[in-house]
Structures are given as C-alpha cells and as structure tokens.
Amino acid sequence: MTPGPGISRTPLPKGFVAGGINSGVRKYRPDLGIIVSETEAVTVGVFTQNECKAAPVLYSQGILPSEHIRAIVTNSGQANAATGPQGRERNWQMALSASQAVGCLPHQVVTASTGVIGVPLDIEKISAAMPEMVERATENAEGFALSIMTTDLVPKTVTTEVELTNGNVRITGVSKGSGMIHPNMATMLGYIVTDVELTVNQAQAMLRESTDLSFNMISVDGDTSTNDCVFLMANGASGVALSNEDDVRIFRNALVELSIVLAKSIARDGEGATKLIEVELKGAPESKMARQAARGITLSPLIKSAVHGEDPNWGRILARLGAESVPGDVLEKMSLRIQGVKIFENGGPAVFDRAEVKRLLKTDTVKIEADFNSGGANAVAWGCDLSKKYVDINAEYST
C-alpha cells in the first residue's frame, strides 16, 4: 500500500488517465479535474444523507449505478449547492462539456463539486478549460488530486497492487476533505478506480462495506456536507476477474485497507489539526453501540480540545460515552487507556502518572482505547484535535 502525500507519482490502474487544470475560477491553483476510463466502466457511488443535496449529487445519483461510465469530472471552489434550477442546468453543462472533450455521451460522465455553498458554477470558464485538461491527462493521479483540494493542506492519494488467481490488478484512490466532515454513507469527495472486472452488484456491495469501515468512521467537526460522495470505477482493463471466493476476499480486504488509509489522511488533515485521534473500542454488546460510542469520542469538542492541549482529562471521555447512551452497567465494567496507559477500570480511576501521560500526548497521533468487557462488538474511529486555527479558517472561509 503506497500512500500518495509527499511522493511525486501515484500510478493509475490500466486504462485510466486523469488530470487537473486551472480554469480561472480560482486564482492560483488547479480548480477543475477529471478521471477518464478509456473504455466503459462499471461505476457506483454512495452519497450524502444530508437533505440539502448539491446539484452534482442529485445528478450523479440519477445515473448511477451504471456499466457505461467513461469519466468523473469535479470542480473546486464552487459547491453548486443550494443553487436551484440554475445550478442543476450548469451541472448538466459541465457534464456535457466533459463528454464532448472525452468523446462520449453526457450520461456517461459523473459530476462532483466542492467549495462554497450557494455559489453556482462559472460554467463558461469551466467549459472552456475542459478540452485542454482532457488532452493533458496522464496515467498518474497527482494532477487530479491537486485540482479537488479546498482547505486541504496536502493532496491525498494511495495505490496498491493486488495479486489474484489469474493475475494482478491495481486499485488507486484519491480523496479530499479537511472541514465540514462527519460522513453518513459517504465521504467528502472520494474516488477509487481499479482495472479489475467487477459486476455492478459486486462493486456496490464492496463500496458500501469499505465506506462503512473507513470514511463513515471519521469526523473533523460533526457537519455532514451537502456534496459528500465516494465513487468506485472498475473498467476491467486488466482482464482479471474475481474468479473465486479467495479473490473476492483478497480484493475486498485491499479495498477496505486503501479506504482506511484515505480516511485517516482526511482526519489527519482536518482544518487546523495538529494531531490524529484514533479511538479503538472493544467488547461492546452490539455493533451499533460500538460505532456510535467510538465516533462520539472523536466528535466531542471537549475531548478534541483536551487532546490539542495535551491534557489527560479522561472524565470528558466518560461523560461523552454516557451522552452516547452507553449504559451505566457497561461503563462500570469498562477499562480505558490513553496512549497505552490505563486510566480507568472497574467503575473508577486507575493509578497513573499524569505527567507521563501528558508527555505521551505530545505526539502527532493520539490513541484512545476503551474495552467495554460486555460483548464481542468492536469499532475503530478517527478524528483530529480542535485548535484555534480551525476557528480562524472557518471564520473567514467564504471571504
């Protein structure tokens, strides 16, 4: 598994090219990106559950799943959310101009947007830049990854090669996200492409599972975006299919692992973040409780602030678990560790060196482990600390 941030090349699978360009919507950086499959690709998506859905979300939901997609086009800087009929018309025009540049039909192009809500697309600039962007597309993911960034500090790409019974296939993922992140059956923007042969049903089931274990277990600020979506494209260019149950398991595990790498990179790059928080929760009576409790810890502004201040204030964790409806009898059995140090057990505080835990909290990754000792359900969630810079970024976001 090769993560992309900080490296110069993240190769795409066979039969894919991608690129990005500055269309003039943003001043200094790429603001329009595209991923193109040379042949028709099985493509599926999961989308935000926010009832205020952006125009590209509504459009892409209407054409997916599909066996005939050729491209995904994305703009940054203008979310095209809450823009009414005009926004839907301009989204259609973006798909149309992309299809003309690629050489396919408009309904073979999936769209996505990211940026300021309430701002429609500057469609003239976007359409004019489309032919050059497609012409300059390469077999690497970096140009596209740069084009979809908003407040992200780094591009987020990852690639892996998977050995199956009849040959090797590649999976490459790209994502963006930094703020307004608390996914619900989707992620900020996520793109996973592969040259394996998949059916629509296989692709949809695997994408939902991998998303549920990765992107749906991160939180930066508790806000579910109007534009969240994640896509999986499989063009079969390798000529390799999932020929048996072992192949299915191997490919599915690789997809989950890749998605987790991307999800953690989003949490680590949260707006103003200085630390990644990983919460591992074990021994819950049932899965729903485990997932809700783990996510609740990553969401709490009090816990996030304590982590930022390197303060081992474990009482905030107990309080949050209670607020997440973890029963009192379960909390009585729980053991709790911060950075590997046991701080709570059997309903009361454990003896620990507070100064030592504070020292351990100075790292850029903080691990919180809770064992409910009440069942067999486990969950892992990721988040980030809450800094003064987060407030600064979001106080000035639209200006």
217 closest CA partner among 258, 182, 193 = 182
CB proximity list for 368: less than 8 A, separation 6 or greater: 277, 278, 279, 280, 297, 317, 336, 337, 338
Name the strand (E) or helix (H) holding 368: strand 365-371
CA distance 70 to 231: 13
pLDDT digits (tens, 9 = 90+) for 64-110: 999 999 999 999 999 999 999 999 999 999 999 999 999 999 999 99
pLDDT digits (tens, 9 = 90+) for 341-354: 999 999 999 999 99
Task: Tell me which residue has tokens 């500090």.
Answer: 153
Rg (CA), the chain: 22
What pLDDT, on a 0 to 100 scale, did the predictor assign at position 397?
58
Average pLDDT estimate for 136-145 = 97
Average pLDDT estimate for 141-146 = 96
Inform me whether the pLDDT recorded for 183 exceeds 90. Answer: no
Inform me whether the pLDDT recorded for 244 exceeds 90. Answer: yes
Average pLDDT estimate for 158-183 = 89
> Could you give the residue numbers annotated as active site?
187
Inform me whether the pLDDT recorded for 5 exceeds 50. Answer: no
What pLDDT, on a 0 to 100 scale, did the predictor assign at position 162?
98
CB proximity list for 333: less than 8 A, separation 6 or greater: 346, 347, 372, 373, 374
Percentage of the chain beyond pLDDT 90 is: 81
CA distance 334 to 322: 12
Inform me whether the pLDDT recorded for 8 exceeds 80. Answer: no
What pLDDT, on a 0 to 100 scale, did the predictor assign at position 271?
72
Contact call for residues 197 and 236 (beta carbons, < 8 A)? yes
What pLDDT, on a 0 to 100 scale, did the predictor assign at position 7?
44
Show the domains of the chain with their CATH numbers: 2-268 (3.60.70.12), 276-395 (3.10.20.340)
What pLDDT, on a 0 to 100 scale, did the predictor assign at position 180?
57
HSE (side-chain half, CA atoms, 13 Å) at 320 = 20
217 closest CA partner among 304, 174, 279 = 279
